[in-house]
Structure formats: structure tokens, C-alpha cells
Structure 1
């Protein structure tokens, strides 16, 4: 069993620090996801852009 601890990461997109809780780390591990590279703000903006692109393509 891994002992998860809260930590601070640096967003690769904007350079801001962001908090990654032990609970989030455990959830990511259960989903077999890698550590986030982008902060929640940049991630949300990217998701919104993708949704908009999809809507535009569907016309």
C-alpha cells in the first residue's frame, strides 16, 4: 500500500503551483492515471476548448 501525502505540483502549461491532495492521488492510482501535468484551471480551459471544437465539428 502506498502512503499518499499532499503535495504541490507545477503546471507545465502556465507555471503556476497547484495543490494535489492525498485523496486525489489515491483516486488517480485506482484509475491507473498518471500525475497531472496541468493545474485545474488550465485543464478546465482545455476541456472547454475540446467541447467547443466538438460542437463546431458536429455543426
Structure 2
């Protein structure tokens, strides 16, 4: 496996899906590659967490 350059579906920036991340995804049984860069994933997670906090 080699590093892959993907495009974030939220911000349209290129990001690298490293060989190590690919191994992790394979080990966890994930079939799909990530669609968002790290920054957009973090922002989305924070946005989702806010809705559940009291």
C-alpha cells in the first residue's frame, strides 16, 4: 500500500490518507475511505457533540 491523496467533500482540499491509516481502516473492517480531512472531521465531531451536551 502507498499513501493516497484524497479530496475532502466539505472543504475540497487535498489530504493524505497514509499507509498507516489505511492499515487501521482495514484492521477495523471499514470498507470506505475517509471523505473528510482531519480538520473537517474534527469540526463535524465538535458540532455533533454540542447537540448532545446539556
The two structures have a TM-score, normalised by structure 1, of 0.83
Structure 1 or 2: more helix by fraction: 1
The number of residue pairs the alignment matches comes to 53
Q: Which residue of 1 aligns with 2:44?
A: 46
Q: 1 or 2 for the larger relative contact order (CA 8 Å, sep ≥6)?
A: 2
RMSD: 0.8
The two structures have a TM-score, normalised by structure 2, of 0.90
Runs of 4+ in 1 over 4 A off after TM superposition: none
